A and B are shown apart, each in its own frame.
Chain A
Amino acid sequence: MTEASPPADLAIETRGLSKQFGHRAAVDGIDLAVPRGSVFGFLGPNGSGKTTTIRLLLGLASATSGNIRVLGGEMPRQLAAVLPHVGSLVEGPAFYPFLSGAANLRRLDSADLHASPSTRAARVNEALERVGLSHAAGKKVRAYSLGMKQRLGIAHALLGPRELLVLDEPTNGLDPQGTREVRSLVRSLAAGGTTVFVSSHLLAEVEQMCTHVGVMSVGKLVAQGTLHELRAAGQATIRLHTPDVEAAVRVLSRLGLQSELSAPSAGSSGPDGQSLVSTGSPGHDVAPEAIVAALVADGVRVRGFGVENASLEERFVSLTGEGFDIAG
């Protein structure tokens, strides 16, 4: 690439990326940073701009403003050089119903100038095998079930050696078995060094597959980072059972936690102490055992201790508001 090279460790990078449809901003100034080698979960409710963003990344639609770099190449200017290294599933699979699964893959592969015709048949077979569709290779796609079409769509994304996979809702229409297979497929691809950018409205899915997460809400990227960072950004709740309440509060506030006595209820107060509930963001450097050690060092008698990290679910609901599909 001729341009001043961007940080080499980003597979996808956008700056102030926006897309207007009329007066409505479908994508509103997002700065994506997808590290190479990551499995990046692009999470958000339906209609939050995920698919539009993917269309912009792949040069299907043109941005109203902002810059995009994919695999170091500026999009859409360097589209012809970038896209052969990108496999994608965009807004569901789409095929010619009157062609067989294998014929569909051969057809779409022939559209890629860089795809060698001599290895086409072998690559098609390999991709079909990878998604468990070899038995249906010769069947017309018209007769495929939704799940089979979805698998064929993923097979299409895997037709060549890819540096980046962009998978838009890859588990749509798959049964639990298929979902598990996709998850393990994504993991094995990531293990092979492929960056996977996977969009989903299902939190559970992202939580199980991804190393990094970006959260979209109404066209804006409201959070981005590693799964761990996102979890840590949420509040942790510490439940402490001790007779030495005052000392405990002092120690906990030193660690950045706000404490209050839990509402008295049966068993919460008694001769052996009271329950204390502390909330706050202790940060990664304060491990639960460190908190206990600090308490004990100050002479607090710890009779019960527990840490509950805010679930990602709560975090995402707070980021994206109502209507977020967390059913998993």
Chain B
Amino acid sequence: MTATPEDRPSSSWSLMASELSVLFRRLRTWAMLLALAAIPILIAAAVKLSSHPVAPGRGPPFLDRITQNGLFVGVTALVVSVPLFLPLTIGVVAGDTIAGEANLGTLRYLLVAPAGRVRLLLIKYTAAAVFCLAATLTVAAAGALAGVVLFPVGPVTLLSGDTIGVGESVARSLLIAAYVAVSLLGLSAIGLAISTFTDIPVGAMAATIVLSVVSQVADNLPQLEWLHPWLFSHYWLGFADLLRQPISWVSFGNNALLQAGYILAAWALAYGKFTSKDVLS
């Protein structure tokens, strides 16, 4: 028909760009990122203003190190955010992917454009993954900023006892952020899959968030120990390995593999549902 082949790459990118711009032009997205950024700032301010030094081993991991080295603020904030705050925001974004469009009624217009159902799923998932990275980086960056402003910054002593310079510690922080972002990809895929089943975004968001809580609760029940390695949240806090010298990639690899498994399964579900779905919204 009328389209020329050279239109395709740019047009396909065009929907991706549009998807990201819609996501990041929403007030809601910025509110969530701001709330995430507030976590490390809150932690840093609380530690700074507290008259008592933090006793080692109390509070979240790494908290006691913040006063010695501001670079730990970001890591501490990530530890605090991983169980609830990050899954909360991921649940909102991933649960909204398809159900949100259905709820607005724009889903039918995207499909008759035609966006293509599989292409739309891919783009929606990519945008959710970009948000995972943005959310994690927001926490890490706000933490680094608060740490630099409020605390001394210097070489970091790793869990293995080795000391690394500021440059490498920034690289390690980014690595940890990447680890957390990867950790959340499985949950994003689950949210996407749930989102194809309903026209009510709040329902998909809540279901996604509840699943992340259930997974973590199950991970804490010794009776379910056989199940633990299969829970998508199992490696969520396993990034301590990245603070050793040399870096141990075992948990990164295990985590990535587990997330990939969840992504595949959730995608199969989302694909099966969405490609055959009657869009009646």
Contacts and interface: CB of A to CB of B under 8 A. Distances in A.
A55 B8 contact: no
Interface string A115-151: 1110000000000000000000000000000000000
A60 B279 contact: yes
A111 B105 CA distance: 15
Given A98-B26, A111-B115, A116-B11, A92 B18 contact: no
A247 B116 CA distance: 70
A291 B280 CA distance: 53
A81 B1 CA distance: 7
Given A94-B104, A94-B109, A156-B109, A110 B279 contact: no
B278 A108 contact: no
B49 interface: no
A91 B108 contact: yes
Contact of B109 (A59, A79, A99, A108): A108
Contacts of A156: 109
B26 A114 contact: no
A81 B2 CA distance: 10
B27 interface: yes
Nearest to A166: B112
Interface in B178-223: none
Contacts of B276: 62
Contact of A94 (B8, B105, B114, B280): B105
> For chain B, what secondary structure do more than half of its interface residues adopt (helix, strand, loop), or is it mixed?
helix
Contacts of A86: 112
Nearest to B26: A98
A113 interface: yes
A83 B14 CA distance: 18
Contacts of B17: 110
Contacts of B112: 58-60, 83, 86, 88, 90
B83 to A, nearest CB: 30
Interface string B10-32: 11101101100010011100000
Contacts of A80: 114, 116
Interface in A33-65: 55, 58-62
Contacts of B115: 111-113
12 contacts: A55-B108, A60-B108, A79-B114, A91-B108, A94-B109, A98-B27, A111-B114, A113-B7, A113-B8, A114-B11, A115-B113, A117-B14
Contacts of A97: 104
A114 B106 contact: no
B171 interface: no
Contacts of B11: 110, 112-117
Given A96-B104, A99-B25, A83 B18 contact: no
A25 B159 CA distance: 67
B108 A94 contact: yes
A248 to B, nearest CB: 58
A95 interface: yes
A112 B114 contact: yes
> Which 9 residue pairs of A and B lie closest in terms of their CB atoms, listed nearest first?
A94-B105, A114-B3, A111-B113, A61-B278, A111-B115, A110-B18, A83-B114, A112-B113, A110-B14
Contact of A111 (B2, B15, B279): B15
A239 interface: no
Nearest to A93: B105
B250 interface: no
A55 B104 contact: no
A95 B104 contact: yes
Given A55-B278, A96-B106, A114-B2, 7 more contacts: A80-B114, A85-B1, A108-B106, A111-B120, A112-B115, A113-B12, A116-B11
B111 interface: yes
A233 to B, nearest CB: 34
A119 to B, nearest CB: 10
A91 B109 CA distance: 10
A97 B17 CA distance: 19
Interface in B104-148: 104-106, 108-116, 120
A84 B114 CA distance: 7
Nearest to A92: B105
A107 interface: yes
A301 interface: no
B107 to A, nearest CB: 8
A106 interface: yes
Contact of A62 (B18, B111, B278): B278
A55 B22 contact: no
A100 to B, nearest CB: 10
